[in-house]
Amino acid sequence: MDVIYEWFRLLYQETGINLPFLYDEYDRNRMVDGFLTTVWLSLVCLFFSVIIGVIGAWLQGSSFKWTRRFVNGYIQLFRNTPPLVQLYFFYFAIGTLLPRVENDWGGQSPILGSFAWAAISLSFFAGAFNVEIFRSGIEAVPKSTVEAAEALGFSKLQIYRDITLPLAFRVVLPALNNNLVNLVKTTTLAYAIAVPEMLYEANQIWSDNVNVTEMMIFLLLAYFVLVGVLVGAMNRWERAMKIPGYG
Amino acid sequence: MSWNTSDPMVSLKDVHKSFGDLKVLNGVSLDVMKGDVICIIGPSGSGKSTLIRCINALNDIQQGSILVEGQEVNDPKLNKLELRKKVGMVFQQYNLFPHKTALQNVMMAPVRVLKQDKDAAEKSARALIKKVRLEGKEDAYPGELSGGQQQRVAIARSLAMQPDVILFDEVTAALDPETVGEVLQTIKDLAEDGMTCILVTHEMAFAREVADHIYFTDRGVIVEHGPPDTFFKNAQDPRTKEFLSQIL
């Protein structure tokens, strides 16, 4: 490793191409932390946005008018407003309304930190799209298949869990892929409320080293690889879920 | 509500059903005794399928009474799940669960709905697949089976719930002519085992062979009914005669 560090230090000295996170331990730790925060924020949001999508699509099929209206209202609100505005709304509007707790230094801290607010906000944002995506999948499941399950005595919940959802999932995977890719990219917005994710840490590094060009190129490639890994995993999953002789 | 086997297992009285302005059933009455095989025949759009779909509450009715083992189906407080444990159904388009293998299709409802032990359910599912002559196809997905094979899996799936009566909704209408026979044979086996069967069918030769009673429907009413011999030889109503002359 030391050889590599030395090589990048030399690269900087000889050419002026400055990638400090590859030879400086302090900057390296910042970059690794930022990367891990981005990955963790992405995973949390992926998980909760899919859960919101699954539950929301189920509630949309409810026989209670107000339940359906509530879900539709949620979708309209989160789909028709910018995610950055939502993030600010959660962090600055809701966040300041909540009670404060005493922190370790005897001061007052908000009950939820910026990471938690970013996770909540982005999950709701992507979840709104996921509800619509799952709904389209549910509508693609033939009514006759559902009827067969009804005739066998399955309950509504059992039909949703065992029949509709597994079939709908296969239909919506390409659309879900798109939305989840967008979600991972949207985690960069958390920068705005000082979540120490990859963009934020890169900004710290370029402020200290005045190497904006290098950091921008690096960031672009880092996200390209990160999203590429997600897409690869989703494509593998899509193939694994394929049913012989179907679709 | 008590019911004993000398009462009709399924009893329809003056059943009316419409979809919006379209009247589909206009006062249908019929009784099915335990062990009976009845066939409902009639032109397209005469309400045959709607009629049997009302029996397991897939369609609701506006007026009249449907009793299944003494239980009123036309009741807003009806426990549909309990009803459907007693009444099995096989559909024209098979409607198998495409993401489950033949074996899983058959054992799924007993495990989920009847809460049967998984090993026991699998054992009886394998026996049923053997009964419908599909041994070796247990692990095939519906998409890998022919229409006739899928329909036999669907029959096994329905049997796995140990219903008291099975509704067959034009189960051979979507099949290739050469696979119709294998499905009809399966139903014939069931009938001979004493299963109560209500069939909507266009297979006249089959109806004549297996049915205890034939009902002819047209425009939402039962025009004529009787045992197959009398029905096919001595139809009285001009509409029945016309229908039979077209298809026989």
When scoring A152, A171, A173 by the number of chain B Cβ atoms within 10 A, the one with the most, hence best to mutate, is A152
Residue A124 tokens, joined: 């709701």
Closest to A61 in 3D by CA, of A130, A164, A145, A153: A164
What's the pTM value of the predicted model, to 2 decimals?
0.84
Per-position pLDDT tens, chain A of length 247? 788 888 999 999 999 899 988 888 899 999 999 999 999 999 999 999 999 999 999 999 888 999 999 999 999 999 999 999 999 999 999 998 888 888 888 788 888 899 999 999 999 999 999 999 999 999 999 999 999 999 999 999 999 999 999 999 999 999 999 999 999 999 999 999 999 999 999 999 999 999 999 999 999 999 999 999 999 999 999 999 888 877 6
For residue A145, list chain B residues with Cβ-Cβ distance below 8 A.
Answer: 95, 97-98
Select from A167, A164, A80, A161 the least CA-distant residue to A125: A80
DSSP A162: I
> What long-range pairs does B26-30 form, CB within 8 A, spacing at least 24?
B26/B219, B26/B220, B26/B221, B27/B64, B27/B220, B27/B221, B28/B64, B28/B217, B28/B220, B28/B221, B28/B222, B29/B222, B30/B215, B30/B222, B30/B225
Q: Other C-beta atoms within 10 Å of A88: how many?
A: 17
Domain count, chain A: 1
Sheet holding B63-68, edge to edge: B22-32, B10-19, B63-68, B71-72
CATH number for the domain that contains residue A118: 1.10.3720.10
- CB-closest option in A144, A166, A244 to B143: A244
Cβ within 8 Å, pair B109-A166: no
ipTM, two decimals: 0.90
Q: Helices A25-60 and A114-140 sit at what angle, rounded to 10 degrees?
A: 40
Closest residue of A to B80, CA-based?
A153
**A147 in contact with B at a CB cutoff of 8 Å?**
yes
* Structural domain that includes position A116: 2-240
In a domain, A21, yes or no: yes
Minimal CA–CA distance to A149: which of B154, B116, B31? B154
Which pLDDT tens digit goes with each residue over A196-213?
999 999 999 999 999 999
CATH architecture of B10-247: 3-Layer(aba) Sandwich (3.40)
